[in-house]
Structure 1
Amino acid sequence: MDSKCAVIMCVLLLSTPLIQGFAIPRGRRCLCRTLAKQVNAMALAQLDVYPRSAQCENTEYIVTLKRSGETKCVSPALMEIKALLSGKNRFLKHIPVIRHP
């Protein structure tokens, strides 16, 4: 009886790397929880745009500040963000807008 248990245990232990699991979604996985109400356009280093995805149902706009390197989530309704996205403001052309897939 002991040898049968040992064989079963060895088979189970050797087969564990072959078992594949799957991720269980645990709610929304958005990058932004709160949005900044204002931002200084001259203090921006770049703007990242993350489109809707399976993990998050919102399009997210994240700015990086020049001096501190800090990132902030901003609302697309802000005048500065609209100007950056349109590309018409000549004073903001030096700020790159990175659109992530």
Structure 2
Amino acid sequence: MLSAPFPELGIHAPDPDGPCTFLIHLHVEDADRMMADAVAAGGRIVVDPADRFWGERSGRVRDPFGYEWMIGHSIEEVSPEEMQRRYERTGLPE
């Protein structure tokens, strides 16, 4: 559960401009549309959506409260061997 900050209960929001301390990975029907909706609601793109070597189209957005979301949808099933081959060829996304 994510909530608004409640400092009186020891619940604090992350610094919206500080380093990411965790990432929420959310699978959706259409990652591009969801990321556009997130930007329209005040978020900012951290990593543009793109097709990834692990068989997902995904990107990252930081919401106005400082939470970072990886939003993606499946585009293909990739075997572990093929995923490793692709990783060695391209590396991790920025």
Q: TM-score, normalised by structure 2?
A: 0.24
More strand by share: 2
Instruction: State the TM-score, normalizing by the size of structure 1.
Output: 0.23
Rg: which structure is higher? 1
